Amino acid sequence: MARDIDSMPQSYEYDVLIIGSGAAGLAVALNLPEHLRVCVVSKADISSGATLWAQGGIAAVLDDTDSVENHIQDTLNAGGGLCHEDAVRFTVEHSKESIEWLIESGVEFTRQDDGADYHLTREGGHSHRRIIHAADATGHAVSTTLASQAAARPNIDLKSGRVAVDLITNRKLALPGNRCVGAYILNLEDNHVELFRARFTVIATGGSSKAYRYTTNPDGASGDGIAMAWRAGCRVANMEFNQFHPTCLYHPHAKSFLITEAVRGEGGVLKLPDGSRFMDRFDKRAELAPRDIVARAIDHEMKRLGADHLYLDISHKPADFIKHHFPTIYEKCLGFGIDITKEPIPVVPAAHYTCGGIVSDERARTDINQLYVVGEAAFTGLHGANRMASNSLLECLVYGRAAAADITRRESDIPAPPAAPDWDESQVRDSDEDVVISHNWDELRHFMWDYVGIVRTTKRLQRAKHRVDLLSREIGEFYSNYRVTNDLIELRNLVTVADLIICSALQRKESRGLHYTLDYPGLLNDPQDTVLVPTTYRTLSP
């Protein structure tokens, strides 16, 4: 039976298609000239990505006692010898102007009590106070402000309730050249796949921490952009470096609520169930050690004691100080019956940030022409083996603005995208096996947590590789025969990124930064990035 014409999938054409609406994607959109037709698509509400939940703040050189060189050195130290110094310098040197752009855009950062200067906090790995913030809800302030600015721009279309299925390239269309010309995107409202053609496409989809059982990330962090780019022919790098946030709130109803590192930066101490401190036994910086050290220490003590969680205590500070600096955390914990001004916070490590991603350059360009990547989905070389606290939002801003600048320079030279076929749904059917998707999702996240977590072994990784290969075949068959859904798309992408993580981890024969394996506890003398090359990879050409 023919479908009603109103239910047929839509087709769109834009100058720039941006997949993802966090700080990175919106930074691109808002820095493009207003004569370009821009579309920003997001899975849920425009302000529903990982940016919204970022608590701590944004690292930048804003104080006279600090310097660009200090910030660079701290980042290099945290990165475990794998940071690309040119990328670190590029990011840090553009930090102040990026913050100024946010302020000009209307983001209201917290000021000192006298109102004269902005309040700067300090987090693990930083030698100076350089974290500008909006209380303990910086991401919320940035996300809502930029979304409001984008909504007011007549040249920017904001389309929510859409999840990208796959990129469209010249290769997929059997045309010459190595170019991205848009994407197929599922409209979650009517469950039809829409065609989005564009002269430029930007991946700003965030990371892949939903591959793990415990995570601080929102539900959409399923590695969609990384998986799509890999299938399209982009290299990925350093996927073994998954950052586990040391302190996620441990409560059966809290889901994914992290306790910002700024709590430790302002004097919070980690404690065992008996109330004793332990971090000084693992690092001379104690609670201010980088995240990987703190996460491993907590994981070690939990396993040693057989404990479900440990504690983070800032109750020794004045109650007014806590409520002023951490109002969101105070209210959230109070809602679960925990008064952080009087008692410690139960915490557990959780998957938090994907340090690797799609290989890109200082202009955010990937291995495919007219395809850019910004934010957590990208591998810029900034983070190395371990992301330093509050450098992530800075990376979103700096590279988002760099991508916009490059598109602006090149837009007059790039022709309209070629014609592309609508998504073919004629050979598939609706699935009545949703339980299979749910089961596979649970299995994936459990074995990733058990075998590819904070501490790894070769045997565990090999077991994970065996399981992910079986799941890949099963899901591939499912994807070929049934109509796509959000859950199926995300599961397909999570299996892809899980495989990339496992393969990367198996290649690294050392313990460095966030990758810690009992089989290779030492460091190699000449560390290299782990770069995976897809069979569809082509050397970039004009």
Burial of 485 (C-beta count, 10 Å sphere; 0-12/13-18/19+): middle
What backbone torsions phi and psi does residue 438 show, to the nearest 5 degrees?
Answer: -60, -45
CA distance 142 to 147: 8
115: helix, coil or strand?
coil
Which is nearest to 359 in space by CA: 381, 387, 375?
Answer: 381
Q: β-strand 345-354 against 310-313: which pairing, if any?
A: antiparallel
Here the tokens at position 374 are 């910004």
Which is nearest to 53 in space by CA: 246, 216, 255?
Answer: 216
DSSP per-residue letters across 232-299: HT--EE-TT-EEEEEEEE--TTT-S-B--THHHHTT-EEE-TTS-B-GGGT-TTGGGS-HHHHHHHHH
Q: Beta partners for 13?
A: 197
* 291 tagged catalytic: yes
Which is nearest to 313 in space by CA: 340, 349, 282, 350?
Answer: 340
- Helix (DSSP H) and strand (DSSP E) numbers for the chain: 15, 18
390-209-52-293 Cα dihedral, nearest 10 degrees: -30
List the catalytic residue out of 179, 199, 291, 445.
291
Q: Beta partners for 517?
A: 456
CA distance 250 to 15: 45
Number of Cβ within a 10 Å radius of residue 539: 6
- C-alpha triplet 69, 72, 73: angle, nearest 5°: 85
Q: Which residues are tagged catalytic?
A: 291
